[in-house]
Structure 1
């Protein structure tokens, strides 16, 4: 699984952080950071994070 975020679209509202905190977080500067290749066991949480993104900035590629 590969996760990408379009940082130009991302509004940094944090819905993804609530859905998949093991994958998405805010750094010390308040910018979104994420794990590009998360564990496959987090698939449901990552898919939910992509679904709840208000601007649809999260893209998930499943192998």
Structure 2
């Protein structure tokens, strides 16, 4: 599973680091470090972290996993503003 955190949106509440410490960690008071290629074993904890984020800064892209099995190109999950 691939993770993307909008670090401009993240406010450092650290709910993700509390719920999934093997994937997310706080660096100082407001800096977030995370593993963008989280292991499938962490799926439930990551889902809890996504749900708990008060500013909805965490995106999980699971389409790349489904596409890998079908031979289709992976979706990036990136959107255009314009």
**Normalized against structure 1, the TM-score is what?**
0.92
Q: CA RMSD in A?
A: 0.9
Runs of 4+ in 1 over 3 A off after TM superposition: none
- Give distance in 1, aligned partners of 2:22 and 2:35: 8
Structure 2 length as normaliser, TM-score?
0.72
Partners in 2 of 1:5 and 1:56 — Cα distance?
A: 9
Q: Which runs of 5+ in 2 are unaligned?
A: 66-82
The answer for the alignment partner of 2:42 in structure 1 is: 42
Gaps of 5+ in 1: none
Q: Aligned partners of 1:57 and 1:25: how far apart in 2?
A: 15
CA distance in 1, matches of 2:7, 2:26: 13
Number of residue equivalences: 62
Structure 2 distance, partners of 1:12, 1:59, is 16
Larger Rg: 2
Question: Which protein, 1 or 2, shows the higher relative CO under an 8 Å CA cutoff with sep ≥ 6?
Answer: 1
